[in-house]
């Protein structure tokens, strides 16, 4: 008895490293980009998409129970409260996101243009400008608690996801200058 085996037809598609860089940079916008801290405690956070479209920050604060507002009983646990803090639309975050999508689409066409270098660089620059804008916004906020008269330290810390998105766009720009794509069987 003779059996014949046929290998499945393999098609190839061209997916460059710059495509992966643009895709990673865009997908990282779904994760938290910035965390606002008050007295070194996390207070609010927002994703890259949230910064781009001006959605509300997700705030988490600690609140003492109403029966014991001053926390005198050590057995009482603080209750975590999750609220929404008004968000601000950052146009540079939106531009960076749009440039990332455009760069990904252009990198899939495998056109031999150097537009990916410009697009990846511009997206990375927009993310750097975003960081500066958020730092400036934090500096402009009042830093005293009127009820207690204490100075409050408010900081904006950018997450690893922000930095990975920035690095992804820089890598996409760098690899856009290379013309040899990676061939993935599939």
pTM value is 0.72
Calculate mean pLDDT across residues 66-85: 45
> Which segments of 71-159 does DSSP mark as H helices, in order?
91-108, 115-139
Model confidence at 12: pLDDT above 80 = no
> In sequence order, what are the residues at sequence separation of 6 or more whose Cβ sits closer than 8 angstroms to the Cβ of residue 99?
119, 120, 122, 123, 126
- The SS3 call for residue 174 is helix
Rounded-to-10 torsion of CA 90, 55, 121, 175 = 180
Judge whether residue 63 has pLDDT over 50: no
pLDDT above 50 (res 181)? yes
Residue 31, pLDDT above cutoff 80: yes
């Amino acid at each position: 008895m003779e059996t014949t085996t046929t290998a499945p037809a393999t098609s190839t598609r061209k997916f460059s490293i710059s495509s992966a860089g643009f895709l990673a940079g865009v997908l990282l916008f779904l994760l938290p980009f910035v965390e606002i801290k008050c007295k070194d405690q996390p207070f609010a956070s927002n994703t890259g998409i949230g910064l781009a479209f001006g959605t509300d920050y997700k705030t988490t604060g600690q609140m003492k129970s109403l029966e014991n507002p001053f926390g005198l009983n050590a057995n009482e646990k603080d209750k975590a409260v999750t609220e929404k803090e008004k968000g601000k639309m950052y146009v540079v975050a939106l531009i960076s996101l749009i440039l990332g999508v455009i760069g990904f689409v252009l990198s899939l066409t495998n056109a031999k243009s150097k537009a990916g270098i410009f697009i990846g660089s511009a997206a990375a620059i927009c993310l750097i400008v975003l960081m500066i804008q958020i730092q400036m916004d934090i500096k402009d906020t009042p830093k005293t608690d009127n009820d207690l008269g204490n100075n409050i330290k408010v900081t904006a810390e950018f997450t690893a996801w922000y930095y990975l998105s920035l690095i992804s766009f820089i890598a996409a720009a760098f690899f856009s200058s290379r013309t040899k794509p990676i061939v993935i069987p599939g």
